[in-house]
Structure 1
Amino acid sequence: MSSIGIKDVAAIAGVSITTVSRALRNPGRVSKATRERVLAAVSEAGYTPNKLGVSLRTAKSGNIVAIIPDVGDSFNFGVIRAIEKAANNHGYSVLLGDTHGSQERERAYAEMVRSRHADGVILFSQHLPFDIDPQQPAAQQMPPLVNSCEPVAVPGIPTVTIDNVAAAREAVDHLIGYGHRNISVITGDMESPSSQDRLLGFRQAMQAAGLAINERHVIHGAYTVENGQASTNQLLLRRDRPSAIFCFSDEIALGCYSSLQEHGFRVPADMSVMGFDDIRYARHFSPPLTTVAQPVEAIGTYCVELLLKVMNGETLEKTRYILPHELVVRGSTRQL
């Protein structure tokens, strides 16, 4: 496989890498003379630009596609609404691809970009729906793509998220500060980078406080109400019940509430409950849910703005954008 890259073309043409990228992807943004010089350098170097990435920028559809595992999830729904608002402000429509967690469906929706039904992708998944050569820069092999919340393990892909490790650590520190020592967690899907990071944050907080972790109190599941209810049922059957439960999403916390109520436990008198996300209904739980707020509006807006820059051939300052979170203390946690 040839090792010739865009840097070689830029050196031969005597222009910047950005200019080469624009000449190939957005020819209307450079002069005819510059484009001809770049094409001559491409021929001399024997460089073969990714045809998908080049051709997609020569005909605009006015659409972007958001590929999401579960549009019914309250957190995802909030980000989608923000994406639609930001996209519409820039004259774009959003095509929604609800994959139900299927990688096959992710790839099918990604084909909308190949067929020019969309100009770019916002991806809510850790799975990259395109085949790429890991030895070559990812951005040169794909259509415009921005990753939201669940980072893809491929360098160079713009990602918008929060610091899930720090956020989880802060949530657990709050429980420890209230005197809780026996703390359980109910995770989401452990293939999810956000779940992995939140579990790491939990472990770091417990270790920093010198507290032992009861591995039987680390319950793995999914980001669903049903998981919250079933997992809490498991915890309540044990003699060494925790005094607090950290749920990796507010929807899990809702299921946790349901189980506790069904078994006659009161929140927070008998059990403190911590959520994550601060969905729009969290303040209306009974009692209102203590949780970690993610900046839903900002996440959606950033995704669109970054995608538009990539679609226009602009060079981003960085590829990982960490937005601030906030611990929101309400009535579901109490001092022991």
Structure 2
Amino acid sequence: MAKLGIKDIAAISGVSPATVSRTLRNPDIVSEETRKKVMKAVEEGGYTPSRFGANLRTQKSGNIIVVMPDITNQVNAGIIRAIESEAQKAGYSILLGDTQGLAEREKHYANMAQSGQADGVLLFTFHMPFNLNKALPVLKQLPPIVNSCESIPIEGISKVMIDNIAGARTAVEHLLSLGHKRIAAVMGPRDTPSTLERLKGYETALATARIEIDEQLIIRGDYGLDSGIGAMEQLLKLRLRPTAVFCFSDDMAIGAMSVLQENGFRIPQDISIMGFDDIRYARLMTPALTTIHQPLEEIGKACIELLLEQLDGKSEQARYVELPFQLMVRQSTGPAPL
């Protein structure tokens, strides 16, 4: 007689196939009554979970899913390179999940992990794509997971971050030290934690220097090159232009620099430009870009290290790792024009 499948077990138990899967994968998150019904059907039907099902703990897929909003972004590319290298050393393959900022894609990759197609997840988004029961411990409901770069506002998850507030404050303080007072900010996407944190750092530095915030000098961007171009074009139309511009990403800073140079402005003699990230091309620009260095390789390595600890059963507690940033002073910033 043929063995029953997961749909057959669901029909016999009177529950959904998803509930059967959850019961087999993590029985602690379902009720005792449901667990008894499902396990009785499993035993009587001779059901054997596949390697991509509930037997994940003893028969691993050997895959790790990396979920990112844009894998072509230079910051993400630097992190991915380090993740790939360290994962291979540990015998794991990387599955790249490019969500393009879409929630349905995030859910898709979460479902892949829950169905056993991956043993762990590295989340570089600020959305939690897994459904959680607030009454239960977070880690018991999730596959091995580490969150980085964009902090998910949920306690109990391992995270690898830098201090965006302090980094942005350091950037603005550098410009203030050069005599700049009209300092513009080109922000990232509106709802991302990194944008809000860098904005707070910008505002804190100005407030400490007793400089009033000018809303005209705060321009919305999206971390991309084109938004840096658009923001700089907008700033140049102001009657009172800024003497310095702090872009929340190097890509936007490079876009802003291109607009200034095309319009005959000298950098930094007329307008100073400050970035954030220290991507590979920052030091190759003319002039070389002053920026806040994120340790991209170290971020990738730390993420894998925390995830491997979970996969190897060496850690059942969430860990928070904060890596240091560094101010890289180059030629794109200089004294404020008289």
Report the TM range for the smaller structure's normalisation.
0.7 to 0.9
Q: Distance in 2 between matches of 1:80 and 1:291?
A: 21
Match in the other structure for 1:36? none
Note the 1:37-48 alignment, pairs <5 A: none
Distance of 1:53 and 1:157 partners within structure 2: 23
Q: Secondary structure at the match of 1:56?
A: helix
The Cα of 1:83 is off from its aligned counterpart by 0.5
Deviation at 1:54, TM superposition (A): 7.1
Change in Cα spacing, 1:238 to 1:310, as seen in structure 2 (3 Å) is same
- Deviation for aligned residue 1:259: 1.3
Matches within 5 A, 1:235-254: 235-254=235-254
C-alpha displacement of 1:310? 1.4
SS class of match (2:322): strand
Shift of 1:111: 1.8
| Contact preservation (8 Å) 2:53, 2:116 | no
CA contact (8 A) 1:53 1:143 kept: no
Q: Does 1:232 align with 2:222?
A: no
After superposition, the Cα gap between the structure-2 partners of 1:141 and 1:330, relative to the gap in structure 1 and judged at 3 Å, is: same
Corresponding residue for residue 83 of structure 2: 83
Q: CA deviation at 1:55?
A: 4.6
Distance 1:187 1:48, change over 3 A: farther
Q: Secondary structure at the match of 2:188?
A: coil
Q: Counterpart amino acid of 1:143?
A: P
Q: 1:318: Cα distance to partner?
A: 4.9
* One-letter amino acid matched to 2:57: R
- How far does the alpha carbon of each residue in 1:36-67 deviate from its partner, in whole angstroms, 9 at most, with x for none? xxx9xx8xx95999x99975323201110101
* Counterpart for residue 220 of structure 1: 220
Q: For the Cα contact (< 8 Å) 1:127–1:152, is it kept in 2?
A: yes
Match of residue 61 from structure 2: 61
Separation in structure 2 between the aligned mates of residue 148 and residue 270 of structure 1, nearest angstrom: 37
- Cα offset for 1:211? 0.8
**Which residue number corresponds to residue 256 of structure 1?**
256
1:103 CA displacement: 1.0
Q: 1:86-126 CA distances to partner (integer Å, 9 max, x unpaired)?
A: 10111111011111111111111222212222100001100
Segment drifting more, 224-233 vs 103-112: 103-112
Using the alignment, how far apart are the partners of 2:294 and 2:132 within structure 1?
A: 31
**Distance between the aligned counterparts of 1:165 and 1:65, measured in 2?**
29
Instruction: Give the secondary structure class of the aligned counterpart of 1:81.
Output: helix
Distance of 1:231 and 1:239 partners within structure 2 = 15
The aligned counterpart of 2:5 is none
Equivalent in the alignment of 1:5: none
| Counterpart residue number, 2:185 | 185
Q: Which residue of 2 aligns with 1:308?
A: 308
Corresponding position of 1:11: none
Rounded Cα–Cα distance in structure 2 between residues aligned with 1:124 and 1:99: 10
- State the TM-score, normalized to the length of structure 1: 0.83
Matches within 5 A, 1:162-173: 162-173=162-173
Identity of aligned residues (%): 48
Distance in 1 between residues matched to 2:82 and 2:126, nearest whole Å: 21
The Cα of 1:321 is off from its aligned counterpart by 1.1
Aligned residue for 2:21?
none
**Contact kept in structure 1, 2:54 and 2:116, CA below 8 Å:** no
Give the Cα–Cα distance (whole angstroms) in 2 for the partners of residues 175 and 94 of structure 1: 40
Cα drift, residue 134 of structure 1: 2.0
Distance 1:181 1:53 in 2: 59
Tell me the residue number matched to 1:125.
125
Amino acid at match of 2:79: V
1:137 to partner: Cα distance = 1.7
Paired residues of 1:56 and 1:113 also in contact (CA < 8 A): no
Contact residue 25 and residue 313 of structure 1 kept, 8 A:
no
Equivalent pairs counted in the alignment come to 296
1:270 and 2:266 matched: no
Q: CA shift at 1:320, angstroms?
A: 1.9
TM-score by length of 2: 0.83
In 2: Cα distance, 1:48 partner to 1:292 partner = 53
Give distance in 2, aligned partners of 1:53 and 1:314: 23
Partner residue in 2 for 1:335 = 335
C-alpha displacement at 1:263, in angstroms?
1.7
Q: How does 1:128-143 map to 2 (within 5 A)?
A: 128-143=128-143
Structure 2 distance, partners of 1:243, 1:47, is: 68
CA contact (8 A) 2:126 2:153 kept: yes
Gaps of 5+ in 1: 1-23, 27-38
Task: Tell me the C-alpha RMSD between the 2 structures.
Answer: 2.3
Letter in 2 for 1:230: G
The residue correspondences of 1:273-284 to structure 2 (distance < 5 A) are: 273-284=273-284
